[in-house]
Amino acid sequence: MASASSTLHFDRDFQPDTGMPVVVAPGLVRVTAPNASAYTFTGTNSFLLGHERLALIDPGPVDHRHDSALLSAIAGRVVTTILLTHTHKDHSASAAVWREKLGAPLWFGGQHRLSRPLRRFERNPIRGSCDWALLPDRTLIDGETIEAGDMSVVVHTTPGHCANHLAFGLAGTEILLSGDHVMGWNSTLVSVPDGSMSDYFAALDKLIALPYRRYVPAHGGPIEDGPAHAAALRTHRQMRNDRLIEAVRQGATTLGAVIAQIYPEQPARVRFAARMTMMAHVEYLEALGQLRVTRGPFGLRLSLGDAPA
């Protein structure tokens, strides 16, 4: 098991070779979509799994350049299955088109859903990024082994980033396709109510205990010691919990005041993402009794809870 004291290091030097087929491992080819952004890094990694028969994993955005690159990499081989790690549109927007084009079934972790119901006055801040109407031909369940192309894949439910997130272990190898749950370039966005920090922590612990060492995420490059990196991400998130408690202890009573203390010099786009994830930390600490939260039409009021931090 990875050490909880692992040092967190982000690798932002990844060269995606956008649009080109890149062999990641025997039977695993990456094709990165041209949708680089502050949230997708160098773009969404689509994968072709198999040798003579293939599975297409996370076909990505609707983009004719990416479609052409994937068709070139498929090279006339039969695609037996389309798999999704989750239903955020940078991964799934083209999935229905590919299902029709290839005549292949679409399998994922069930229709997009919130991690908890909306509260009064609440809106899902990333609702426009979610593929609400997409339905699977088969809903995958935790622990099952499926045939993907001419290879076998073990399904692992990893909610947190969103409720229907999956990771795929390549059977008989040390490789895990970790989707957006564990990435090497940045920590994962957890935006409530779409995602859940409690689920995110639990799924990190689950992955660390599994027998996969090399993680291959849906954005950025491979992580050679995946369990150690996942443990470091967990430590990083716990440090954010501690910073949040300390900010409230020092007098911050609103989320804006907390963000100003923890991210005083970050650009606006970083602070916007930080605000979403920090809200997930607030809910996590509230459930533990370490924060007290008063909700109203004009926002939150934060105070320390009764449970020891």
Q: How sure is the predictor about 3, in pLDDT bands with cuts at 50, 70 and 90?
A: very low
Give 235 or 270, the one with higher predicted confidence.
Answer: 235
- Domain(s) labelled CATH 3.60.15.10 in the chain stretch across 22-235
Q: How sure is the predictor about 297, in pLDDT bands with cuts at 50, 70 and 90?
A: confident
Q: Find the range with the poorest average confidence among 81-95, 109-123, 259-273.
A: 259-273
Provide φ and ψ at 71, rounded to 5°. Answer: -60, -40
Cβ-based neighbour number of residue 60 at 10 Å:
30
What pLDDT was estimated at residue 121? 83
- Averaged pLDDT of the chain: 95
- Domain(s) labelled CATH 1.10.10.10 in the chain stretch across 237-304
Residue 142 in this model has a pLDDT that exceeds 80 = yes
Residue 265 in this model has a pLDDT that exceeds 80 = no
Lookup result for tokens 């272990």: 169
C-alpha distance from residue 46 to each of 18, 65, 78, 196 (Å): 11, 13, 17, 25
Residue 243 in this model has a pLDDT that exceeds 50 = yes
Residue 208 in this model has a pLDDT that exceeds 80 = yes
What pLDDT was estimated at residue 1? 41
C-alpha distance from residue 34 to each of 46, 48, 80 (Å): 11, 17, 25
What pLDDT was estimated at residue 2? 46
What pLDDT was estimated at residue 296? 84
Q: How sure is the predictor about 270, in pLDDT bands with cuts at 50, 70 and 90?
A: confident
What pLDDT was estimated at residue 267? 75
Residue 272 in this model has a pLDDT that exceeds 50 = yes
CATH superfamily of 22-235: Ribonuclease Z/Hydroxyacylglutathione hydrolase-like (3.60.15.10)
Q: Which pLDDT tens digit goes with each residue over 5-15?
A: 468 999 999 99
What pLDDT was estimated at residue 136? 98
Q: How sure is the predictor about 307, in pLDDT bands with cuts at 50, 70 and 90?
A: confident
Task: Give Dmax (Cα) for the chain.
Answer: 63
C-alpha distance from residue 301 to each of 45, 122, 198, 237, 255 (Å): 40, 15, 21, 22, 8
What pLDDT was estimated at residue 247? 96
Provide φ and ψ at 200, rounded to 5°. Answer: -60, -45
Reported CATH class of domain 237-304: mainly alpha
Q: Which pLDDT tens digit goes with each residue over 36-47?
A: 999 999 999 999
What pLDDT was estimated at residue 55? 98
Q: Which pLDDT tens digit goes with each residue over 154-207?
A: 999 999 999 999 999 999 999 999 999 999 999 999 999 999 999 999 999 999
Give Cβ neighbours of residue 238 (< 8 Å, ≥ 6 apart): none
